[in-house]
A and B are shown apart, each in its own frame.
Chain A
Amino acid sequence: MSAGRRLALAAACLCWLTAAAPACAQGLPLPAPGTYKLDRIFRAPFGVTSEGGMWPHLLSRDTEGAITLLSFFYTQCVDPLGCPLAWEAFGAVRAALQKRPALAARTRLAFYSFDPAHDGPALQLFAASYSAGAPPVWRFITGWNDFFMRRTLSHFGQEISPARNGDDGRVVIDHMLKVFLIDRAGWVREIYTTGFLDPKAILGDIETLALEEERARP
């Protein structure tokens, strides 16, 4: 993808974020929530995580029991189409969900850092700042140790390069932006990349999973 197309893509995303009308791309309309199915792509793995404190947690705490939007990130990332774009998309999804409390209460946002050396202490600060608002909850986690982090990344197909120092002294970890939508049972049901990180599509998928849950109830 050329730089022009990347910027156009970013503009399209920002267009959605700043305007009421979502039809920036003028493509085929997104289907109404609940009118389509999302495949069960793979199950979120077993893992052990840290939220920056002393105690470990199971990854399933953040991948089961609610509809979860999960992305891998690191706080020093400044690639505008990397972590910041995920951050913007999550922010847009969160803002939209906050207008729909019932759906928000069934949804969780999660950022998983693959730079625990720098992000460990920051996770608790992020968690504190983002838990102050209305649901959905926004969790900030990392691997309990290097073994669990690499195992989790591998299972999700989230590749990262070895860390290196950028020109401005920041840590740079090259990676492909991926965002995972996980259902209440822990199945990954959709994967969004930069080319298709549309908050409106994500919201439609979240609502589709919620409707699926309701239909499955006896």
Chain B
Amino acid sequence: MKRQKMVPSMLRAGVVALSLWGAGARADETCLSPYTAALIRGQEKYLQVWTLGVKGMGDESDKLVTVNVDPKSPDYGKVVATLSVGGRGEAHHMGFTDDRKYLWAGRLDDNKIFVFDVGTDPGKPKLVKTIDDLVPKSGFVGPHTFYALPGRMIVGALSNAKDHGGATGLAVYSNAGEFLSAHPLPTTDGGDGYGYDIGINPQKNAMLTSSFTGWNNYMMDFGKLVADPAAMKNFGATMVMWNLKSMQPDKVFSVPGAPLEIRWSLKDGDDWAITATALTSQLWLVKKDDKGAWVAKDVAAIGDPAKIPLPVDISIAADGKSLWVNTFMDGMTRLFDLNNPEQPKEIYSKHTGSQVNMVSQSWDGKRVYVTTSLLANWDKKGADDEQFLKAFDWNGKELTEKFKIDFYGLKLGRAHHMKFTGEAQKAASVAPTRL
């Protein structure tokens, strides 16, 4: 009984003995699942780039490219490891397991999911498992988003095996790679069944999903797609608020134009998320209205929507006060002021390439990384098909390029999704999670 009295007294006294380990374990990185451990608050050491192989280039294979991004290292700005996985299957996005030891990476065409060990030696990842049962287990096609839950991974898909259209869902796997359950996106009460990104707010028991398009469209040549009015109708126009505990849809929001990446504000007390629509070039805010009901509303244009700049990736600052937005068609990297999320304002822009897709910022906001590939068949042709990783410093006023890695020049392929890794997790006294 003595213990029962001791613990509450410690809480009341506010005894804080938080370790760095523990603090990291409970922190949110700006675009990671809130359940992801070991937040990198300081200087990231490596950047993993999920890279699409190109026929006739190098080994032609999709690969995980590891770049040293530590300015104090003699290898700064250099590719230090490449890990080819064999074949080309439309490599796309990645996500850490909750312990940040493993990085799951998906391919949208052949539906394979590769699990890399990035905890043991982040400078030299190892492929430890390939998951290939998404389609037979769930009926879904196109493993896109990898979002950690404790001990599990939610895989957000883009399509389905029946018609390769946009109706799809969420598949849940254990960290060991065992399929656990499937959760279709809603097709009633305003739902269109389309899927794309996932964003969880655990304190609100809330999960948001967004919507893109199915295999028929994302594997089609981009020029052919935009010239096909029927195909252009097959894009998502909804976001869904889910009850996280039950994994059941709670409310469908009408968000026309393919809402893509979802970012909850990480600022204490904030209670909103933001997304960008690819086709209509708008920022949308999801928050509660005066009556306490969740709503989604169009709050700002990105560039000139009439020119279809095609907003793609977004990256929110840790304090929720700003948002980087890449627009693919015009190759612009834009910064929006979110001090009033109801009225975002573009405050800076820079032409960072002929085509730019992903944008990732460090926790302190001082470093910004940009890559180029959207989809193999959607990337630009000829000289405009630049494929690079660029690293910038951000001083609050200007992006200053620190290094550029030419992925075509090094015969690597198309540079797509990025994730940061830090030091090897040497402190762990137990073996890695079984796989």
Which residues of chain B from 72 to 93 have any CB-CB distance to chain A below 8 Å in the complex?
Answer: none
Contacts A37-B181, A81-B22 given; indicate if A10 touches B11 (C-beta within 8 A): yes
A41 close to B203 (CB less than 8 A):
no
A148 in contact (CB, < 8 A)? no
A166 close to B430 (CB less than 8 A):
no
Q: Which residue of A lies closest to B20 (CB)?
A: A174
B431 close to A157 (CB less than 8 A):
no
CA distance A125 to B178 in the complex (A): 40
Q: Encode B380-392 as 1/0 by CB contact (under 8 A) with A.
A: 0000000000000
Contacts A27-B204, A36-B248, A157-B151 given; indicate if A81 touches B19 (C-beta within 8 A): no
A155 in contact (CB, < 8 A)? yes
Q: Encode A184-204 as 1/0 by CB contact (under 8 A) with B.
A: 000010011111100001001
B245 close to A42 (CB less than 8 A):
no
A79 in contact (CB, < 8 A)? yes
Contacts of B172 in A (CB 8 A): 39
A103 in contact (CB, < 8 A)? no
Majority secondary structure of chain B interface residues (helix, strand, loop or mixed): loop
A30 close to B245 (CB less than 8 A):
yes
B14 CB to nearest chain A CB (Å): 7
A42 close to B176 (CB less than 8 A):
yes
CA distance A172 to B20 in the complex (A): 12
A155 close to B292 (CB less than 8 A):
no
A154 in contact (CB, < 8 A)? yes
Residue of A40, A178, A193 with highest tally of chain B CB at under 10 A? A193
B400 in contact (CB, < 8 A)? no
Selected interface stretch from A53-61, A84-92, A210-218: A84-92
Chain B residues with a Cβ closer than 8 Å to the other chain, count = 63
CA distance A78 to B12 in the complex (A): 12
Chain A residues with a Cβ closer than 8 Å to the other chain, count = 63
A193 close to B150 (CB less than 8 A):
yes
Contacts of B10 in A (CB 8 A): 78, 80, 84
Which residues of chain B from 379 to 428 have any CB-CB distance to chain A below 8 Å in the complex?
Answer: 427-428
Selected interface stretch from B1-9, B125-133, B184-192: B1-9
Q: Encode A152-175 as 1/0 by CB contact (under 8 A) with B.
A: 011101111110001000001011
CA distance A174 to B38 in the complex (A): 12
Which residues of chain A from 104 to 131 have any CB-CB distance to chain B below 8 Å in the complex?
Answer: 126, 129
Contacts A36-B247, A84-B11 given; indicate if A79 touches B204 (C-beta within 8 A): no
Contacts of B28 in A (CB 8 A): 1
Q: Which residue of A lies closest to B243 (CB)?
A: A28
Residue of B2, B19, B34, B427 with highest tally of chain A CB at under 10 A? B19
Residue of B25, B172, B268, B427 with highest tally of chain A CB at under 10 A? B25
B180 close to A79 (CB less than 8 A):
no
Which A-B residue pairs are the 8 nearest by beta carbons? A27-B204, A174-B21, A191-B150, A36-B246, A31-B246, A39-B180, A176-B25, A174-B19
18 contacts between A and B (CB under 8 A): A1-B34, A3-B18, A8-B269, A10-B11, A28-B206, A36-B246, A79-B17, A87-B3, A157-B151, A157-B433, A159-B430, A160-B429, A162-B429, A174-B21, A176-B21, A176-B26, A195-B202, A201-B245
7 additional contacts, CB 8 Å, given A14-B11, A193-B150? A28-B205, A29-B205, A79-B19, A87-B7, A153-B430, A161-B21, A191-B151
